[in-house]
Amino acid sequence: MKEFLIAPSILAADFARLGEDTAKVLASGADVIHFDVMDNHYVPNLTVGSMVCQSLRNYGILAPIDVHLMVKPVDHLAIAFAKAGATSISFHPEATKDITCTLALIKNQGCKVGLVFNPNTDLSCLDNVNVMDKLDIILLMSVNPGFGGQSFIPATLDTLCQVRKLIDDGGYDIRLGVDGGINTANIYETAKAGADMFVAGSAIFKQPNYKTVIEMMRCELAKVFPPSVTDVNH
């Protein structure tokens, strides 16, 4: 099992001070910046383009930026974000005409690549070894995409277990993320179900103290694999 990554979603950040707020959440213990891109076509909401990703890099953000493309079509925006400093780029399989082509295009840009599955999207494309072999990330939406502040969909836990088994049985080195409605009350059960990257927007950015809430999340995650007795004795 990989180390757990906490990935605050900038959708809930203060866009009037995005660089400062992003630096603050990283200084508070976050591992990855989750960058939600919405085009008001694939989802009924609009956020920001690759220039804002570039601005964060120019501001001095060095941490991984995990771009979540909720856009259709995908390819030209994926290239723009790769050029703007994205570390990983994940897209929804139904948003592209050719999944393996888009996966290869993103990898060829030097970025890690992921697929994002909505609660009702079937996972059949993961049966294709040509897809699984290319993936660095599988992100499961635990809300319907488009907005922050929604409630976690409990059925996601079963899907997490299913995909965790697929990854482990195949011996793949793929990060399994969960995205939407994640907070200190449910992060433990998502980790128990197999997630190892946790996207949280409002649960972090809407709190007065980012460090406190991230530490609470870490405490919850520490319960998933408590140190064994032998570890404690070392």
Binding site residue list for substrate: 9, 68, 146-149, 179-181, 201-202
Stretch of 21-29, 34-42, 121-129, 153-161 contacting Zn ion, by CB under 5 A: 34-42
154 alpha carbon, distance to own chain's centre? 18
Burial label for 135, CB within 10 Å (0-12, 13-18, 19+), is buried
Q: How far is the CB of 229 from ligand DX5 (least distance, A)?
A: 36
The CB-of-139 to Zn ion minimum distance in angstroms stands at 7
Is 179 among the catalytic positions? Answer: yes
Interaction of residue 166 with ligand DX5, rule CB under 6 A: no
Active-site pick, 36, 39, 75, 136: 36
Site for ligand DX5 (CB under 6 A): which residue of 167, 201, 214, 220?
201
Residue 126 near residue 163 (C-beta atoms within 8 A): yes
Between the alpha carbon of residue 44 and those of residues 47, 118, 146, 197, the distances in Å are 10, 15, 6, 25
Site for Zn ion in 57-86 (CB under 5 A): 68
214 binds ligand DX5 per the rule CB under 6 A: no
Which residue ranges are tagged as binding site for a divalent metal cation?
A: 34, 36, 68, 179
The only residue of 85, 114, 145, 194 in contact with ligand DX5, by rule CB under 6 A: 145
Indicate whether 109 belongs to the interface with ligand DX5 (CB under 6 A). no
Residues 6 or more apart whose CB falls under 8 angstroms from that of 177 comprise 5, 7, 66, 114, 137, 138, 139, 140, 195, 196, 197, 198, 199
Is residue 36 annotated as a catalytic residue, yes or no? yes
Residues 64, 82: Cα–Cα separation, whole Å: 12
Torsion of the alpha carbons at 134, 138, 196 and 215, rounded to the nearest 10: 120
Catalytic positions: 36, 179
**Residues making contact with ligand DX5 (CB under 6 A):** 9, 11-12, 34, 36, 68, 70, 143, 145-146, 148-150, 179-182, 199-203
Question: Which residues are at the interface with Zn ion (CB under 5 A)?
Answer: 36, 68, 179
